[in-house]
Structure 1
Amino acid sequence: MEPTTPSTICCIVGGGPAGMFLGYLLARAGIQITVLEKHTDFLRDFRGDTIHPSTMQLLKELDLLDEFLPLVDFRTDTLHVNIEGQDFVGPTFKHLNTTCPFIGFVPQWDLLNLMSEQASRYAEFDLRMGTKAVDVIRDNERVVGVRWESATEQGEILADLVVAADGRSSTIRDAVHRQASQQGIPIDVLWFRLDRPEEDDSHTLAWLKNGHMLVTIPRRDHYQTAMVIKKGAFDSIQQHGLPAFRETIAEVCPLLANVAEGVQDWQQVKLLTVEISRLERWHQEGLLFIGDAAHAMSPVGGVGINLAIQDAVATANLLAEPLRQQNVSEQHLAAVQHRRERAAIRTQRVQSMVHSLLFGHASSPGQPFSPPWYVRIGVSVLQPVLRRLAGRWVGIGFQPEHIETPDVHKP
């Protein structure tokens, strides 16, 4: 007798925030799931590290907040910006009606490890690290599973539903010949580490001077630093050499002048190609896209990880019962897109507006940061109102979700 192909109720491709949250929620609800994660661990840098009040509220609803908060490197209820040497108060979260009215800066691998450890308590949860999905299995037009490979073997797994949560470079998206529509973005981002200066108070997140912009994300012993550059300008920056690069860092943020010497090789500088993109249709029979695989966000507002988690929660809320009955129709999948698409579109529109106001258009010349005079005046006049509005947009988003799935293992 030939061996049967392994099967599961739901196969989630991608062990990022969306995939791990969805896997945890479904396993907690008593539904058999398998998560395929192509890397062998979660220890990867240059990823979203800002956990917003909306996500911490979800962790509170899951009774995981007490386990999460010790992982926070730094928390703030108000973001500060330094423009041309002058400090300004940016978005504030103090007014938000949530358990945690602040942003927490947490290495993403710590969050993913937490969710993995919590999910592993459930027998229904199967996480396969170092396992890359390479294609889908079809039965006519319906997706019925995934083909995978690891360093030592390859195989197949059948599933009632495949959820592609494998990011903006989604393998599953390519496998089913889906292409996301792209918006023209004028910037890219360079990521690198810098030591934390002893005199730093960690409250200023962004530094803008002479057409340049730095973002300093605090961690326990260093800054995860981002330099905003014109799209496609990295080659030119490299040609000018590392001394010029370090001089730019010191010019924009004098506080970092000494620690900038820590960048000794271009291998320490990683290019993040910024994009805003979105699938027109997030589903087909047996397959659903969520998170960046459905709608890639720019770094503006640091909302991407939190929006992906909201997708996962909505997916679990809407699909847990159909999955339990092993009767997931495309109408059920369409309901997920209907629930989450508007929030994704509105968020991307805000990001595009910020890009245009602060950085110009993709084809515009000059430095990356060049807001026109009327924007500077408008921001100054409307600062109190904008601080609260920006705090709500960043901290809560346009469509906050709440946990509706049960924990079937509780008496």
Structure 2
Amino acid sequence: MIQRLGVESLFREQIKAILKWQYTHFSSLNHGKDDVYEIALWFRLLRQEGYRVPADVFEYFNDKGKGFVMKLEGNIKGMMELYKASQMSTEEEDILDEAECFSSKCLNALLTCDLDHEQARMIESTLQYPYRKSFARLLAPQSFVNDMPGANSWMEDLLEVANKKRRIDQFVHQKEIHQINKWWKELGLGEKMKCARDQPLKWYMWSMAILTDPSLSELRVELIKPISLVYIIDDIFDVHGTVDGLILFTEAIKRYIWANLCNAFLVEFQWNASGKLPKADDYLKNAIITSGVPLVLTHLFFLMGQNIANQSMDSKKEEVQLPNIIFLMAEILRLWDDLGCAQDENQNGYDGSYVDCYLRENQGSSYQSASEHVMKLISKLWKLLNKECLSPCPFSVPFLEACVNAAKMVSLMYNYEDKH
């Protein structure tokens, strides 16, 4: 509930202490318990905190050879929490895959029953926006209060705290938007490059979503700078550049840290100009770079004071190995974006699509089958991302949270089916 209301930053130390105690006693506390809601809830909370809780805690509910026991079907809250817990899976955790399939089937079946409006809305929300892959604070917080048993005075107090914090956050964000608009106007690119997107508020949405802690105001303002330049360079290559001009532009940029991005954009441009689609894997490898995510999150990596142990920062000596979680998030973004083929972008250019490359390689496949293939890839990437966040991990919790938040934001920004 604290997470759903977006006030976890106020109770961070208390939450950390409680989860540490719960992890220490998890096996003994839950041995033989048949409360799927409680076990699934603690499993999810502990995994979110980075604890390596074994997935076999759900074996109690799994009838060997028959799957999850059917007596759980009518347990709405239990099924909802089981579905949320299944989103914390890593590769080769078959029981969590079974849990996802079973809980999803049960919840969808319940939607065909005579439920009251609020129950149906809660189930739909859980299926479409599970906590791990969505922003809880964007979902109506009052509905989660209403779902709690009984009218607790402490719940009303908590809601009041959440409302006050929301007003404070709004004030902080308005101040940041003012700073960003001032920076953008002084920079002058919006005036000098009429052909490029002029969307500082949209760029700020990424920064605000990635860095949710109120204390990170300065970082939010700084992060929008590489984000905005990625969008502008994308427009230059996709819409307004010529072959000769882009080659010269890329040569000039090679003096700076944007070299990899521009090189990848140039490769993409040349593929499109030639009319020859690359193999899907080759396209995706390059498109991970053109997503701009590695550049932006690398900036954030060092802005947050992270270190890369035992590696030189002198690029002439060796190439620095960046955290794998950055590239996982980049691949998630690229695949989500390519599902919509840039339908939601305010531009006329076309920069390629993994779906198109896949269909070219797999003659006879339908767009529907290609989309299903992409969604399976995204699901696999989330499992790898979940694994990267489990302890022991060499990177700070704030940086990991920022990467996960970026992945969450992707599904909101590029969900073309729901037109978010």
Regarding TM over 0.5, the answer is no
Q: Which has the higher helix share?
A: 2
Higher relative contact order structure (alpha carbons within 8 Å, sequence separation ≥ 6): 1
> Who wins on radius of gyration, i.e. which is larger?
2
